Structure formats: C-alpha cells, structure tokens
Amino acid sequence: MTDRETTVTVENLGGIESATVRLSPGVTVLAGRNATNRTSLLRAIGAALGGSTGALKADADRGSVTLELDGTDYTRTFERDGETVRVGGDPYSDEAMLVDQYGCLLADNPARRAVARGDTEALRSFIMAPVDTDELEATIRRTRRDIESLREDRAAAERTAERRSPLERQLADHREALADTTEELDAVRAAVEDAETDAGAVERAEDAADELTDVRGSYERVRDRLETQRDAVASLREERDEVRAELDELSVPDVDPDRAEAEIERLQRRVRDLETTISSLLSIVEFNEQVTGDGELPGVEDSTTETVECWTCGTTVGRGAIDDQLDDLRAVVDEKRAERNELRSTLESRRADLSDRREATDRREALEDELDDIEAEIADREGTVAELSTRAEELHDRIEELEESAEGLRGSDLLEQYRRRSELEYERGQLEEQIASVEAELETVREAESRLTDIESRLDERESELERARTRVESLERSAVETFNDHMETVRAALGYENIERVWIERTVADDESEFALHVVRATADDVVYEDTLSHLSESEREVIGLVVALAGYLVHDVHETVPVMVLDSLEAIDADRIAALVEYFADFPDHLVVALLPEDAQAVTGEYDRVEMGGARP
C-alpha cells in the first residue's frame, strides 16, 4: 500500500466547477448532505481511474479530472462536440469494465441495480464479466452451428442412402427389360435378313418405316412442348389472378406527401425549439443552484446562510423564495419535456404515415408492372401454343398418310418388321439411358454412404468439443458462484444483519443456458429460518443485498491489486454502526477508500480516518 498522498483535481464535471481534494493513504470520508457534489467527486475519481462514470458539467464545453498518484498524473478530458461529448486523456487503467463494475460502488453500480430489479441475467453478467468466457462461448456458438449443419448433412445423406434398395430393384427391372428387348430385336433383324423379297420392296419398306418413326418422334416432341406451354399458361393465369387480387386489396393511405413533409418539417422545428428552451432553462436552474451554494465544495458558500444576494438585481432574498422559483422552473422544464415527447410521438406517427403511403404506392406500381409483364408473357405463350397445335395437327395428318401408304405396299409383313425393328431399337436406347441414369444414382448413394461415416466422425468430434467447452464454462461459472457465495457470507457477517441468515447464488441450467438465481435465507425473532425472494424484500433490504453482492465482487476479483482506489456511495440503507464496520473491514484492501456519508453516519466512523466536509450542506 502506498504511503503517499493522492491529489484529485476536477474542472467542470458533474456539479463541480473547480475543486482540488487531497486523499491520504487509507480511508477518506466525504461528509455532507445530499446535493453537495459528493457523488460528482466520486464519479470524477472513477473516470480518472479509467471508468465511464464522469460527466461534463451541463453548462461547460470542456472539463477534466486529474488523479496524481505516486508522482504520476492520470487524466480524463471531456469536450463538447455538438450533441456529443468526446472523452480523452490517459487514465490509470484501460480496464473500464473492472473499474465501473467492481471499483466504483455507486448507486448505479450494475450489481446493485440488478438486485434492485431482480434481473438475474444482469446478475450473471456482473459475476462473470472479468472471467474470460468470451472465447469459450464463441466456440460453443460456432460448434452448435457446425453440429446443426452436420446433422442436416447426415439427414440428407441418410435420405439418399435409403434409395439404394428401390434403385437396385429398378436397375434389375431395366436390365431384364433390356435383355428381352435385345432378344426380340435380334429376332426381328434375323427375320428381315432372311426375308425373300426384291431389293426395291425392302428399300421402300425400310424408307417408309424410317419416315414413320421420324414423324412419330417429331409428333411426340411437339406434343411435349405443347403440354409444357399449356401448363405455363395455366400457371401464369393463376399468378395473374393473385396479382390482381393483391392489387384489389392494396390500400394506399390518403396522405398528401407534400403536406406530410411540410408538417414533419414544422414538427422538427418545434422539437428543436423546445430542446433549446429546455437546455436554457436547465442552465438557469443549474446556475442558480451554484449561486445558492447547492452543490458546491468546501469554502465556496457558508452552508448556514438562510439568505442570498440576487444575482440579477442585487437585493437580498430568502433562500426559500429562490428554492420556490427553482421548483417553478423545474416544473416548466417538466412541462416542456412532456410537450417535446408528445411532439416526438406525433412526429414519428407522421413519418410512419408518409412511409406507409410511399411503400403502398411503390408496391402498387410494382404490382402493375408485374401484371403487365405477366399479360405479355401469357400472350406470347398462347401464340406459341397456337403454332404448336397447328404443327401437331400437321404431323398427325402426316402419320395417318404414311400408315395408309404403308398398308398398300407389297410385302407389308416386311414393312411391319421394319417398323418393329425401329421401335425396338428406340426402346433399347431408352432402356440403356435409364440403366445409365440409375447406375449414376446408385453411385451417388454409395458416395452418400461413404460420406455418412465421415459425417458421423466429424459430428462426434464437434459434440465432444461442445461438451468440453460447456464443461469448461460450467466449471468457471461454478467456481465464480462458489467464490462469490463465500465472500458474500464474509460481507454479510461483517455487516452483522441478524435477520438475514444467508445470501447465496444458485447456478441452474435451462435450455442449455445457465441462469443465476439469488436466494435470501431469513430468520425470525423465534429463530425460525426460511427462504425468501427478492420480490418480498423491502427496498432498503434489496439495497443492502445489492451492496453485499457488489462488495463481494470487489473481493472475488481482487480489484485492489489492479485498481488502487475504491469509491463507495449511497449507504443510507445501512445504519451508522454497520457502515463503520464495513469501512473498517474494507480499509485494508485498496490504497485509498473514498466513501461518501451523511454527517450523522460519518460521526460513527472512527476519527483516525481523513475527513472532507462537503459544502452546501443544510442543518
């Protein structure tokens, strides 16, 4: 622990205009009533340590805090840039989360807020924040996605593999049919070769058979195309009906775009005017609070003065009168804020109406364009249907002519044999193609079966990886919870609450997600012990338990080894004697413990600690 004095210099942060406070090693008590800038000072210290607690003074463009520690200056700067504030400087630590969550135990500390709201998810985040589970949780998410993808691949491969038996039966049937067809074809060919007829008859029969086969093939192809076009036309007509129905149902809001835009612009101007007015009124309120001594550091104002000099006319007026005027101004600010919020709501509604109108108009135009395209395509395809129908009729007529001509040929038996030979050759070709297709599908099945083995292996690896990551996270969470429970018991014992027997955290798992539940075990005056829930506790009891959790977090993560200053505020829910015991217990951990207390609570803290009397306190 350092034995050197530390200096904090604050300019234009929170409610502080300018202040320098020296912190001796050990405990420093900031004693004062509310609205004496105790919290502003603590927040400034937190900012210098590296936290995000500092805030620029409302009426200032620049502010800063400097923490002089062991001969080194650590700073945070704040500069207003339009509606935002840029934060810079070189703070003590770059671990903002550690400072905010465990080093700055103010009223808005995450643990204290989580307990007050009964927010178990926020409680888990507080407990686990410094524990490096990000990579493990990223691994869990990534591995879950991999497992889901592999399971989908496995299901697809299994569906493919299930086709083996039907395909093998189909292949056997095709091969049997091919053998029968080949056998019959060989017989027909032999019959043609053995036929005793003149060469002319053979040639004429062969030509007639070939042409008839060609024309029949053409006819089938035209009919297939005709059927495809007719199906397409039917589908397009259904699509056209759907588009027409949507057009009939589509309602375009009755909003004039030009008028809507003009009203939106008017509302925006009014909102900006109100924001300017609110800002000006707040500046007046804050300035008057400073003038009356409300929120000043020691030496700025005599805290016992009941009258002040009016800064506008120089007359002496009672503090109560000024306070009444400030209350009136605050009421006006509230009214302006309410008006602004109502205007913002109206503005959003107008924007939504205009957006709905534009979307509906765009949709109508898109549907009308789509309908035109569909009508054009229907007309085009109907023309194709007409052409194909004419062509099919022509081919059908030609087939009838060829069949009649073939009947008159001498040697018609030979012609029939030529025709049959052509049919069998075509059938054989079709069967060979089908066999090749089935064999290709069977090869796909074999590949799927082979891939299944690899998928199962990879799936086992990913599931093992997931289980390892889950086990590691579970181990870290259980360890953190166990340590938290031990330290919460230490803090509870230090506070000495007899009616609270135990405060402990339980880790549970639901739907593969861990949850942390906070339990409170209470005791009655008759020593009857029972478990209670946060929702049944009073507000002050929840504040106490929230503080217990926050202080346990400080101990669990050994924050004193990394951050030399601990700040503590909003202890009103604890009585003075317990505050004294708490301060005494934690005094040995950080180099500097800075605690804000009300005057009556500060009296109970031992006099060996440094004490800073905060100004602006009222009797």
Domain ranges of the chain: 1-95+563-619, 150-250+393-460, 257-380
Q: What are phi and psi of 75, to 5 degrees?
A: -130, 155
For the chain, residues with pLDDT lower than 70 are 1-3, 130-134, 194-206, 283, 285-320, 323, 405-415, 497-499, 511-512, 525, 607, 615-619
Say how far apart CA 415 and CA 397 lie, in whole Å: 20
Q: Cα separations (Å) of 479 from 145, 475, 492?
A: 28, 6, 20
Rounded to 10°, the helix 412-495/164-194 angle is: 170
Burial 105-121 (b: 16+ CB within 10 A, else e): bbeebbbbbbbbeebbe
One-letter amino acid identity for 525?
A: A
Please give the torsion angle defined by the CA atoms of residues 310, 314, 316 and 318, in that order, rounded to the nearest 10 degrees: -10
Q: Which position has the token pair 């891939």?
A: 451
563 contacts 103 by C-beta, under 8 angstroms:
yes
DSSP string, 418-484: HHHHHHHHHHHHHHHHHHHHHHHHHHHHHHHHHHHHHHHHHHHHHHHHHHHHHHHHHHHHHHHHHHH
Measured distance CA(42)–CA(593) in Å, rounded = 11
**DSSP states of 256-272 as a string?**
-HHHHHHHHHHHHHHHH
Helices (H) and strands (E) in the chain, counts: 13, 15
Provide the CATH topology of domain 1-95+563-619.
Rossmann fold (3.40.50)
Side-chain-side CA neighbours of 494 within 13 Å: the count stands at 21
Report the Cα 222 to chain-centroid distance in Å: 56
DSSP output for 13-51: ETTEEEEEEEE-SEEEEEE--TTSSHHHHHHHHHHHHT-
> What is the Cα 424 distance to its own chain's centre?
66
Q: Which CATH class is domain 257-380?
A: mainly alpha
User: Residue 351: exposed, middle, or buried by beta-carbon count in 10 A (0-12, 13-18, 19+)?
Assistant: middle
CB count, 10 Å around CB of 320? 10
Give residues with Cβ within 8 angstroms of 148, minimum separation 6.
Answer: none
User: What's the rounded Cα separation, in Å, for the pair 455 and 157?
Assistant: 9
Q: Cβ-count burial of 32 within 10 angstroms (0-12 exposed, 13-18 middle, 19+ buried)? A: buried
Q: What is the rounded CA–CA span in Å between residue 602 and residue 611?
A: 9
Do strands 307-309 and 16-23 pair parallel, antiparallel, or not at all (unpaired)? unpaired
The alpha-carbon radius of gyration of the chain (Å, integer) is 44
Closest CA to 121 of 523, 407, 508, 395: 508
pTM above 0.75, yes or no: no
Report the alpha-carbon distance of residue 442 to residue 165 in Å, rounded.
Answer: 10
Block residue for tokens 């009356």: 292
How far is it, in rounded angstroms, from Cα 473 to Cα 479? Answer: 10
* Strand 529-532 relative to strand 513-523, pairing: antiparallel
Q: List, in sequence order, every residue forming a beta bridge with 224; answer none if it has no partner.
A: none
Task: For residue 113, give both structure tokens.
Answer: 């807020």
- Quote the CA–CA distance of 13 and 67 in Å, as a whole number: 14
Instruction: Say which residues have a Cβ less than 8 Å from residue 20's Cβ, sequence separation at least 6.
Output: 7, 8, 9, 10
* CA 177 and chain centroid, separation: 61
| pLDDT value, residue 518 | 79
pLDDT at 204 (0 to 100): 65
Nearest to 562 by CA among 102, 108, 26: 102
The candidate with the shortest Cα–Cα distance to 22, out of 35, 41, 39, is 41
Single-letter amino acid, residue 493: A
| Residues 6+ away with beta carbon under 8 Å from 388 | 222, 225, 226, 229
What does the block give as tokens for 444? 């796909």
Q: How many CB atoms lie within 10 A of CB 224?
A: 11
DSSP 56: B
Q: Which helix (H) or strand (E) holds 540?
A: helix 539-556
CA-based nearest residue to 594, from 610, 579, 607, 608: 610
